[in-house]
């Protein structure tokens, strides 16, 4: 199981409270003045994710920035040129390491957006710091009319080749991958509640109840996987496309995450399938329960849906329904 954030909440709070009692009221050190080290930093980290709403015109997208953390006035105005290399091979390595399927953003989809600080020549990006300039914003002009497949996600990757005499910070990334994806109407972060009946185990229940009693709302993501489809992604317990549940402890159904398909004209849910296949290797699949309301209300941004998890390997008698699920998703915010 991937690390669960909420398992550490109370531990962290205890540590914070302990150290608060030990903090001095003021710092009694020396002002650095014109001393200190200037560092080059990547404030956005080594993986930057941009989820964009669909558009048909051209839009400037700020991919990420570099930061020259100057610690004295002389360094603030000193000239330093940092060089990046656009390296598509990094994306292949990234896909293999993370089991993702990003494609290199086609050259026909965008043009670079140069500034007085950042210039582009072929696959080289130059960031010229100096005269008080601390940030270099790497950006593109993206043509939304070229991006018609919402299911396809793209990426651009950069390698830091020269730091221009600036010391890299200890947390600075050598490579930067920028993920780009389009969101459909139903994409977002939702408050998730519901009921779950597992026909093979009476101890298994919907996780939103016991979690809510201890920590508050369980918020899930519905992520775009097609023009009219979203897949359940659990950022709390599994950090993956996985269905979390409770069985005397925090758990989940492996190789199972529902994918909801909507009718664009009516907002009705027309199918529920399993992200890992119909069926997955463990025979789990999903099926819409027609007795549910099964719709998205655009005014309240609420989804109500009933569906089944089928598993012939566990329930041999047709129709092989292992779990009956009745849920509500209330939109909280965009991703």
Whether 30 maps to a domain, the answer reads no
Q: Is-contact 130 80, C-beta < 8 A?
A: yes
Class of residue 318 by CB neighbours under 10 A (exposed 0-12, middle 13-18, buried 19+): exposed
Enter the tokens of residue 264: 């664009």
Q: Is-contact 327 194, C-beta < 8 A?
A: yes
Angle at 239 between CA 251 and CA 280, to 5 degrees: 65
| Same structural domain, 202 and 293 | yes
| Same structural domain, 197 and 324 | yes
What pLDDT is recorded for position 5? 43
| Same structural domain, 170 and 105 | yes
Q: Considering 123, 151, 182, which residue would you say is the last residue of a domain?
A: 182
How many Cα atoms sit within 13 Å of 205 on the Cβ side?
10
What pLDDT is recorded for position 327? 98
Nearest to 43 by CA among 25, 59, 66, 62: 66
What pLDDT is recorded for position 36? 67
Q: Is-contact 245 256, C-beta < 8 A?
A: no
| Same structural domain, 169 and 199 | no
Whether 291 maps to a domain, the answer reads yes
CB atoms within 10 A of CB 211: 19
| Same structural domain, 103 and 217 | no
Whether 8 maps to a domain, the answer reads no
* Max CA separation in the chain (angstroms): 78
What pLDDT is recorded for position 27? 26
| Same structural domain, 162 and 64 | yes
Whether 80 maps to a domain, the answer reads yes
| Same structural domain, 203 and 172 | no
Whether 273 maps to a domain, the answer reads yes
DSSP string, 163-192: -TTPEEPTT--SEEEEEEEE--TT-EEEEE
Over residues 134-167, the pLDDT tens digits come to 999 999 999 999 998 988 999 999 999 999 999 9
What pLDDT is recorded for position 226? 86
Whether 12 maps to a domain, the answer reads no
Pairing of strands 285-288, 269-274: unpaired
Radius of gyration in angstroms for the set of CA atoms belonging to the chain, rounded to a whole number: 25
Whether 18 maps to a domain, the answer reads no
Pairing of strands 258-262, 302-310: unpaired
State the total domains in the chain. 2
Nearest to 253 by CA among 271, 230, 272, 274: 274
Residue ranges making up the domain that contains 50? 35-182
Q: With a cut of 70, list the residues of the chain below it in pLDDT.
A: 1-36
| Same structural domain, 192 and 176 | no
What pLDDT is recorded for position 170? 87
Nearest to 273 by CA among 301, 310, 304, 244: 310
Q: Considering 130, 148, 182, which residue would you say is the last residue of a domain?
A: 182
Instruction: Report, in this order, helix, strand and coil percent for the chain, each rounded to 5.
Output: 15, 45, 40
Domain CATH code at residue 151: 2.60.40.1740
Contacts of residue 326, Cβ cutoff 8 Å, sequence gap at least 6 = 194, 195, 196, 289, 292, 305, 306
| Same structural domain, 174 and 198 | no
Whether 26 maps to a domain, the answer reads no
| Same structural domain, 173 and 199 | no
CB atoms within 10 A of CB 26: 5
Q: Considering 127, 151, 182, which residue would you say is the last residue of a domain?
A: 182
| Same structural domain, 170 and 196 | no
Domain CATH code at residue 322: 2.40.128.420
What pLDDT is recorded for position 22? 37
| Same structural domain, 115 and 214 | no
Nearest to 72 by CA among 39, 37, 29: 37
């Amino acid at each position: 199981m991937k690390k669960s954030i909420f398992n550490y909440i109370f531990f962290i709070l205890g540590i914070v409270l302990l150290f608060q009692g030990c903090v001095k009221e003021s710092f009694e050190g020396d002002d650095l003045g014109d001393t200190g080290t200037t560092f080059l930093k990547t404030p956005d980290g080594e993986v930057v994710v941009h989820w964009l709403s669909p558009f048909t015109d051209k839009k400037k997208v700020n991919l990420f920035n570099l930061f020259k953390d100057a610690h004295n006035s002389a360094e603030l105005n000193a000239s330093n040129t940092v060089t990046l290399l656009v390296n598509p091979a990094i994306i292949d390595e990234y896909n293999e390491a993370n089991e993702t399927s990003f494609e290199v953003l086609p050259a026909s989809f965008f043009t670079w957006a140069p500034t007085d600080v950042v210039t582009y020549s072929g696959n080289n990006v130059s960031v010229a710091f100096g005269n008080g300039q601390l940030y270099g914003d790497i950006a593109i002009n993206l043509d939304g009319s070229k991006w018609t497949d919402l299911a396809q996600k793209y990426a651009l990757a950069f390698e830091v080749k020269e730091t221009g005499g600036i010391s890299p910070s200890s947390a600075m990334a050598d490579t930067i991958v920028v993920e780009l994806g389009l969101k459909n109407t139903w994409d977002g972060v939702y408050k998730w509640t519901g009921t779950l009946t597992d026909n093979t185990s009476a101890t298994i229940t919907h996780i939103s109840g016991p979690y809510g009693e201890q920590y508050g709302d369980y918020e899930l993501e519905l992520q775009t996987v097609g023009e009219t489809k979203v897949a359940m992604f659990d950022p709390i317990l599994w950090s993956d496309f996985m269905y979390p549940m409770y069985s005397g402890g925090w758990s989940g159904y492996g190789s199972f995450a529902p994918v909801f398909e909507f009718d664009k004209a009516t907002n009705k849910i027309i199918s529920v399938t399993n992200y890992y296949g119909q069926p997955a290797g463990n025979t789990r699949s999903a099926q819409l329960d027609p007795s549910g309301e099964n719709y998205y209300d655009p005014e309240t941004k609420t989804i109500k849906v009933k569906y089944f998890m089928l598993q012939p390997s566990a329930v041999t008698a047709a129709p092989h329904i292992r779990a009956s699920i009745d849920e509500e998703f209330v939109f909280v915010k965009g991703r």
